[in-house]
């Protein structure tokens, strides 16, 4: 019986020691392990650009469903998570200005991610005037340096 208790104490001793560490020390260690610095941005050639093939600027679309076709010049397409020089994947910014360029692009109804490497997508918009703009993200959804963007276009859905 004494041998079993001794073995149990030896087995649990390391776990008990971890519990005894003060919270302030744990917080300091966590801060040094996870620095609060922005993610490193992938590099892009200065002449790389994104563009919207369809719809054209000023288009009037009947019905809310439409295809968006996306293009790149002097840059390639790679799915999210794939790290290759001079590549990235499309993000469609709808009715918003560009997000901060030194952090991951948001993923919501106004920031559509095409992390599979898609170059076209069918979207649905409510009736009204809308803006569309492409922003290319790196493997981690962070815009490149310099950012690869398209001009912002305006369309009307009726």
Domain over 49-157 is classified CATH 2.60.40.10: yes
Strands 87-94, 76-77: pairing is: parallel
At 21 the pLDDT is 33
Candidates 93, 82, 100, 76; CA nearest to 130 is 93
| CB 152, CB 110: distance < 8 Å | no
Candidates 104, 98, 84, 117; CA nearest to 40 is 104
What tokens were used for 84? 């290759």
Which DSSP symbol is given to 63?
S
Query: Does the global pTM surpass 0.95?
Result: no
Backbone angles phi and psi of 25, in degrees to 5: -70, -45
At 38 the pLDDT is 58
Which DSSP symbol is given to 43?
B
At 37 the pLDDT is 60
Which DSSP symbol is given to 149?
B
Which segments of the chain belong to CATH 2.60.40.10?
49-157
The distance of Cα 5 from the centroid of its chain, to the nearest Å, equals: 53
Q: Going residue by residue through the chain (158 aa), what tens digit of pLDDT does each one get?
A: 444 444 444 444 444 333 333 333 333 333 444 445 656 788 999 999 999 999 999 999 998 899 999 999 999 999 999 999 999 999 999 999 999 999 999 999 999 999 999 999 999 999 999 999 999 999 999 999 999 999 999 999 99
| CB 75, CB 136: distance < 8 Å | yes
Residue recorded with tokens 């008990």:
16
Contacts of residue 18, Cβ cutoff 8 Å, sequence gap at least 6: none
């Amino acid at each position: 019986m004494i041998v079993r208790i001794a073995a149990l104490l030896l087995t649990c001793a390391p776990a008990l020691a971890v519990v005894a560490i003060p919270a302030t020390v744990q917080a300091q260690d966590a801060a040094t392990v996870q620095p609060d610095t922005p993610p490193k941005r992938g590099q892009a050639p200065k002449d790389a650009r994104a563009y919207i093939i369809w719809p054209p600027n000023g288009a009037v679309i009947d019905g809310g469903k439409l295809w968006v076709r996306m293009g790149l010049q002097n840059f390639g397409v790679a799915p999210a998570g794939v790290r290759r020089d001079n590549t990235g994947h499309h993000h469609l910014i709808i009715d918003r200005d560009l997000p901060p360029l030194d952090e991951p692009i948001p993923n919501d109804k106004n920031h559509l991610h095409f992390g599979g490497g898609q170059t076209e997508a069918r979207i649905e918009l409510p009736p009204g005037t809308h803006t569309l703009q492409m922003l290319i993200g790196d493997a981690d959804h962070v815009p490149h340096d310099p950012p690869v963007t398209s001009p912002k276009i305006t369309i009307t859905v009726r």
